[in-house]
Structure 1
Amino acid sequence: MKKLTVVSLLLLFVISVSAQPIFNLGLKGGLNNSKVTFKKSEINSETITKYHIGAFGRVGAGKIFVQPEAYFSAKGGELEGGNVLDVASEFDFNTLDVPLLLGIKIIDGEKANVRLMGGPVFSFLTSKDVDGDELLDPEYYKDQYVGLQYGIGADIFGFTLDFRMENSSNMYKHMDSDLNAKNQTFMISVGYKIF
């Protein structure tokens, strides 16, 4: 089994190296539908729609590529809960997100392609705001956290369209571990390759 895996990886590498190189740079933007989840079952979390805007690169050969990105992302949520919250809380936070995605083109046409991608995303908090009661204290937001992004995308001529899911590690770390929170974001992005 190990030999088969090694041979498959070597074959994939040889095919990729002998293929035409990929190098693209572009701009992108889109919508975030984010939700923050807590361990406490009494806290009901609702999604909120925000935006992201930034740039991407793509380097590779053949059907395999690496896609680093950097973009400003606005996220947040709304919380309600029976005995825990007397008043609903709304909160916003902004991050600089830096995903490093590994991708493969599953359909590779001359003018269009479809690709799968996934990898880590490194998020750096740039601002935080809480309205409502005192359940969420801004001091417990982490300055940086790591997540995982995965999804599907398409290129048509010079335009890109991506659908991705992002799941983070704890981005809100409270002394009460039941109040630790993770972010989930569904992203739709449209981009344009400058070259």
Structure 2
Amino acid sequence: MKTIVIILLFASFCLPAAAQSPINLGLKGGINSTKLTSDLSKYDEESINKFHAGAFVRVNLGNIYVQPEAYFNTKGGELNESGGIVNSFDLKTVDVPVLLGVNIIKKGPLALRANAGPVFSFVTDKEFNGDETAFNRDYIEDNFFGWQYGVGADFMMFTLDVRMENNSGELYKGPDFESKSKSFVISLGFKLL
């Protein structure tokens, strides 16, 4: 019972501060579904579900906001060859999106918003499983650039974001083919400030 009272007291102090603050700071985490795309017809592309966790800062400027984020992300994808050989990529990255957003609806503790912006990904670990003659982990880029766009909702101190991410450059640049990555990202966050 004591724990519930302490949590309610903490929330009652944090809630007005988060609602009135021009700057929000919070933690977030969620899942992403990544798919590699290539121009080779002999490969079927499969999506891989992974996770991400990190933090965000939101600078509120009236109905517009700027939201830089940093999170640890795991991405992957499969290219299945018609002969039954599966080639999969598992990447660990640090992603840094910088989003510009607009509040579409803002009524009391509820806000609906849309945002878009660039995302910079820095690869910290690369894993490749499959046919080493067709693919080589050395051709996986160490960092890449893309775009995120989507919608979100805030309710009191909680945030929910649904976004798409498309890479502008190649994720894999080999002598025989190149591959890009597309991701569908869902994250749940909690405003600390």
Q: Which runs of 4+ in 1 moved over 2 A?
A: none
- Report the TM-score when normalising by structure 1: 0.85
**Aligned sequence identity (%):** 49
Aligned to 1:105: 103
State the shift of 1:86 in Å. 5.3
SS, match of residue 138 in structure 2: helix
Tell me the CA shift for residue 22 of structure 1: 2.4
1:43-192 aligned at under 5 Å gives the runs 43-82=43-82, 87-134=85-132, 135-168=134-167, 169-176=169-176, 179-192=177-190
Letter in 2 for 1:142: E
Name the SS for the 1:41 alignment partner.
Answer: coil
Deviations 1:38-74 (A, max 9, x none): 1112211100100000000000311100000000010
Stretches of structure 2 that go unaligned for 5 or more consecutive residues are 1-19
SS in 1 for 2:22: strand
Q: Does 1:28 align with 2:31?
A: no
User: Aligned to 1:146, what secondary structure does the other structure show?
Assistant: strand
Shift of 1:81: 2.0
TM-score scaled by structure 2? Answer: 0.86
Match of 1:40?
40
User: Quick one: distance in 2 between partners of 1:121 and 1:183?
Assistant: 13
In the alignment of these two chains, the number of paired residues is 172
Structure 2 letter corresponding to 1:62: G
C-alpha separation in 1, matches of 2:41 and 2:62:
47
For 2:135 and 2:149, the matched residues in 1 are separated by 29
CA distance in 1, matches of 2:52, 2:39: 27
- What residue ranges of structure 1 are gaps of 5+ in the alignment? 1-19
Stretch of structure 1 that moved more, 89-98 or 48-57: 89-98
In 1: Cα distance, 2:135 partner to 2:64 partner: 42
